[in-house]
């Protein structure tokens, strides 16, 4: 290999046009999905204290927000519902007139071409805050599966483009695919939260979605953070069961997992830049310790460089407004 002084790698970095020409990874607004929290009621826009700049919206205020998202060039949203009433079976998750089901119809009525992704889980809807049916203090995997299938089907019936099971029950993708196909929704995609870790980075989300477990934690079903090889087994299983796309969550502390999934599977790969990652940047920026307009694009670029095709992020609107991606 030729060395210095013939080889001068700084030549490629000398000017901005040269740096852009040699840039290896590109990130666009079209790669982003924006999460939204929907609440019961009317005329409500509730700021979430642990997630500065993020709010919960009632369904009637969605059209204005959705139109703004679409004008920014963001291609889709991920919907989370917060019902008024909760019970042990999470029945509002699969109610045909539930909060998410109505939100889907409202979004599609406002901007039909916007991609609607829906979170398929029970944690926001159960009185105990867990992602499945509780039997004798344990999360019963097999009793939970039919309810997840009903939830996904109700979302498809309301008009969702993509359903995203996030519960981490074994076999959930299989039953969701069977339910969708059995009802004629062959074109509804499944984005599986395939490698979802039991992470401390979820705490602001649980505040936002009012889904803090009332006992124990979620370590018996979400993945153990030290494990990366296990993530490949989870992804492989979900693909075998019918997932069209797979996800790693969280993103920033799991870039190695994103890279491992990208290297081993030729499927569309999403990564979720989660609430705790968002909140850390906002807190540091508020203290004047970081320039968020510099840091946020760098974080998102790192996730893209690790191998993600799609990034779900609470930063989507602001980076689109700033025009800092490329």
Domains located in the chain, CATH noted: 23-322 (3.20.20.70)
Active site residues: 196, 249
Which residue bears the tokens 């917060």? 82
Report pLDDT for 207: 74
How close are the terminal C-alpha atoms of the chain, in Å?
32
Q: Which two tokens stand for residue 283?
A: 């807190």
Q: Where are the alpha helices (DSSP H) in 74-171?
A: 99-110, 141-158
Report pLDDT for 112: 98
Q: To which H or E segment does residue 21 belong? A: helix 16-21
**Pick from 178, 117, 102, 184: nearest CA to 146:** 178
Q: pLDDT below 70 — which residues of the chain?
A: 209-211, 215-216
Q: To which H or E segment does residue 165 belong? A: strand 162-165
The answer to whether 64 and 22 are in contact (CB under 8 A) is: no
**Cβ neighbours of residue 108 closer than 8 Å, sequence gap 6 or more:** 114, 116, 159
Report pLDDT for 73: 98
Report pLDDT for 215: 65
Question: Can you spell out the DSSP letters for 196-240?
Answer: EB--GGGHHHHHHTT---SSS-STTTSBPTT-SHHHHHHHHHHHH
**Cβ neighbours of residue 274 closer than 8 Å, sequence gap 6 or more:** 199, 201, 202, 205, 249, 250, 251
């Amino acid at each position: 290999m030729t060395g210095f002084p013939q080889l001068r790698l700084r030549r490629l970095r000398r000017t901005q046009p040269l740096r852009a020409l040699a840039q290896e990874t590109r990130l666009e607004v079209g790669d982003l999905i924006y999460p939204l929290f929907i609440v019961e009621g009317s005329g409500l826009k509730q700021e979430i204290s642990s997630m500065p700049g993020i709010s919960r919206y009632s369904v009637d205020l969605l059209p204005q927000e959705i139109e703004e998202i679409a004008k920014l060039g963001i291609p889709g949203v991920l919907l989370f519902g917060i019902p008024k009433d909760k019970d042990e079976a999470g029945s509002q998750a699969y109610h045909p007139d539930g909060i998410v089901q109505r939100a889907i119809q409202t979004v599609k009525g406002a901007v039909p071409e916007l991609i609607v992704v829906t979170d398929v889980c029970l944690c926001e809807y159960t009185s105990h805050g867990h992602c499945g049916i509780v039997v004798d203090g344990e999360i019963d995997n097999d009793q939970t599966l039919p309810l997840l299938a009903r939830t996904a089907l109700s979302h498809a019936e309301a008009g969702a483009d993509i359903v995203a099971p996030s519960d981490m029950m074994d076999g959930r993708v299989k039953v969701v695919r069977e339910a969708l196909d059995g009802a004629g929704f062959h074109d509804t995609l499944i984005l599986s939260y395939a490698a979802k870790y039991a992470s401390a980075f979820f705490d602001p989300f649980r505040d936002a979605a009012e889904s803090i477990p009332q006992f124990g934690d979620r370590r018996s079903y979400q993945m153990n953070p030290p494990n990366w090889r296990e993530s490949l087994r989870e992804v492989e299983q979900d693909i075998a069961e019918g997932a069209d796309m797979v996800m790693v969550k969280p993103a920033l502390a799991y870039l190695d997992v994103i890279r491992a999934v990208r290297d081993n599977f030729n499927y569309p790969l999403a990564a979720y830049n989660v609430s705790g990652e968002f909140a850390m940047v906002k807190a540091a920026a508020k203290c004047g310790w970081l320039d968020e307009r510099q840091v946020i694009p760098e974080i998102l670029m790192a996730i893209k460089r690790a191998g993600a095709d799609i990034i779900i992020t609470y930063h989507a609107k602001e980076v689109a407004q700033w025009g800092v991606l490329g």
